[in-house]
Homo-oligomer: A and B are copies of this chain.
């Protein structure tokens, strides 16, 4: 049996993955893997973090204009959720008209880094994925 370097790397990774497949039962059903999925499972969180990372401190409507297609309601919901998780801060200025600024926390910035790497992967794999899709669709008639 031939074992390539890539195979060895995969086996290494599989060993590391074991961590995430243990402790699920023990800790009263709580599993960190499932917890991130819930956070990233919605449409807007990743985009909001990317935009906040790119723009730095940003006001509500400024952010709304940058995240294409998001409604006022969903931006509010998303930002509240991110604030609750300690990923962003929400600063209100007692002015008229009111001003509210959002900004990534240190924790949020560390997540930004991971999301950026994911975006990097996507950016680098986009062509291959599109090719795979066309290939798949052509075979399916």
Contacts and interface: CB of A to CB of B under 8 A. Distances in A.
Interface of A: 6, 10, 13-14, 16-21, 24, 32-37, 39-43, 46-47, 50, 53-54, 56, 68, 83-87, 106-107, 109-114, 116-119, 121-123, 125-126, 128-129, 131-133, 135-137
B13 A33 contact: no
A35 B126 contact: yes
Total copies of the chain: 2
- Chain A interface secondary structure, helix, strand, loop or mixed? helix
Contacts of A10: 53, 56, 109
A6 B104 CA distance: 12
Nearest to A30: B126
A13 B111 contact: no
Contacts of A118: 36, 40, 114, 118
B32 A126 contact: yes
